[in-house]
Amino acid sequence: MCSIPAEAVMIDKKHIERVSEHVWEIPKTFRDDMRVPARLYADEELLDTALSDNSVLQLVNTATLPGVVKYAIAMPDIHQGYGFPIGGVVATHLPEGVISPGGVGYDINCGVRLLVSQVSVEEIEPYLEDIASRLYANCPSGVGAHGHLRLSDNELDQVLHEGSRWMLEKGYASREDLDRTEEFGRISAADAAFVSDHARERGRNQLGTLGAGNHFIEVDRVTEVYDQPTAARLGIYAGNVAVQIHCGSRGLGHEVCEDYVSRFQKTAQDYGIELPDRELVCAPFDSKEGKEYFRAMACAANFAFANRQLLAHMIRRSFEEMLTGEVKNFELQQVYDIAHNMAKVEEHNIDGRSLRVCVHRKGATRAFGPGSSVLPDSLRDLGQPVLIPGSMGTASYVLIGTKGAMEQTFGSTCHGAGRVMSRTKAKKTIRGTVLRDQLKSRGILICAGSMSGLAEEAPLAYKDVARVVEVVHMLGIGRKIARLEPVAVIKG
């Protein structure tokens, strides 16, 4: 592999051309190894923020991947990741284009699920502290946390192959839940034969657990509705209770990524693929190695769908335990469940031709517009709901997918606010206990396993999510439907 360190050349504004108000491009001529230009979707301030770390250089590195088409794309929430930037979208032309485990990330199918109730926050307020405590008890958190289910080998295989469908058979899901989940909660390419014993062992006891880092369960208030008819179709009304779940495939997904990044160090060499960063290692999608990773990734993705489904079940149970007989109509209906770390095989119209591509979305969300055949009947005329979580003290947003996203970004949009401060710096800047008290004074309850972990996720460590969403809305790669604000947060 080529030995140019990813951070060898700094990029500044003189290397970037302005295509339109919120679209910026680094031309293919910037570096000899680029196969396509790199495009950034941002306003000027977000572009400056992106240039303050190595994320734009990482974006340029992804433009070197074999088979990459059109542009390597960065969303407005781009920030530095491992090899690939977070907030990046890269599509490779099949069959010769590559698939890269680093382009999906360690937390395969990390994603967000949104549930809504028809009850107002005021009605549950007297019970909120008890609900938060019950959620914390019922939804174990922490890096190595174990859940309530103990799976046999056979059951684990079924979860890896069936995802949320296994949860439906076991009574932890409804048909409506599956209908309102990306891929209906199951990726059919899954084959557990390509998941290592280590990965299986790491995941075996982790179903129904939240994990750590930026993962959370949040009870929210719907504070603003921008498009009432669409929001009503999704069951979203101002003032009502909503619950978000943000987590992924836990240790199992991490191990799948580790296994294949390690294995592909040799695979990339075998296929003569030269890369500027070892974390970008990849294999042709249609190669034996590429197919095996895709099948293992699909298993981890199914595990993540099942994990968020079980957490949703435990959240519903927590609400029932605290509110039955006290409050009416508190039941939680699923709006949608989306992935923001995934590789998908999709058809996209590129320069007038319909091409089959592998779309890597790492810290980016699928945002298919109205008419998409992969959406359930109940959503096809609306487009796909897109869930953009904020950080503990800030708003989150519900968007809807658009034709603009299909035309500009391979049907993709942003995934969150994006970090601007390292975890270490965040911990040095604010103490977890101080942050907890500050949030409490603003009416936000916090239940967290670790005060230092809480400080790492302080709102000041993130970009302004409202600004990110505004840019996406103006670009037409997602349309604002509603805003949510937290009233209780459960953190790992």
Task: Determine if 379 is a binding residue for other proteins (CB under 8 A).
Answer: no
Task: Determine if 272 is a binding residue for other proteins (CB under 8 A).
Answer: no
Between the alpha carbon of residue 423 and those of residues 195, 446, 483, the distances in Å are 31, 19, 26
Q: Which is nearer to other proteins, 6 or 94 (CB)?
A: 6
Which segment (88-96, 271-279, 365-373, 379-387) binds other proteins by CB under 8 A? 271-279
Catalytic residue among 161, 254, 313, 415: 415
Size of the site for other proteins (CB under 8 A): 34
Site for other proteins in 437-456 (CB under 8 A): 450, 453
Among 70, 180, 186, 202, binds other proteins (CB under 8 A): 202
Q: Is 148 one of the annotated active-site residues of the chain?
A: no
Task: Determine if 143 is a binding residue for other proteins (CB under 8 A).
Answer: yes
Among 83, 208, 404, 478, binds other proteins (CB under 8 A): 83
Shortest distance, CB of residue 327 to other proteins, whole angstroms?
34
Task: Determine if 5 is a binding residue for other proteins (CB under 8 A).
Answer: yes
Q: Which is nearer to other proteins, 202 or 463 (CB)?
A: 202
Residues contacting 183, CB < 8 A, separation 6+:
163, 301, 305, 339, 374
Among 126, 144, 239, 371, binds other proteins (CB under 8 A): 144
Among 142, 370, 376, 443, binds other proteins (CB under 8 A): 142
Among 65, 115, 281, 406, binds other proteins (CB under 8 A): 281
Among 213, 363, 390, 486, binds other proteins (CB under 8 A): 213
Among 78, 156, 261, 471, binds other proteins (CB under 8 A): 261
Q: Which is nearer to other proteins, 108 or 121 (CB)?
A: 108
Q: Which is nearer to other proteins, 43 or 255 (CB)?
A: 255
Shortest distance, CB of residue 454 to other proteins, whole angstroms?
13
Shortest distance, CB of residue 330 to other proteins, whole angstroms?
32
Task: Determine if 76 is a binding residue for other proteins (CB under 8 A).
Answer: no
The residue ranges that bind other proteins (CB under 8 A) are 5-7, 82-83, 106-107, 142-146, 198, 201-202, 212-213, 251, 254-255, 257-258, 261-262, 265-266, 269, 277-279, 281, 423, 450, 453
Annotated catalytic sites, by residue? Answer: 415
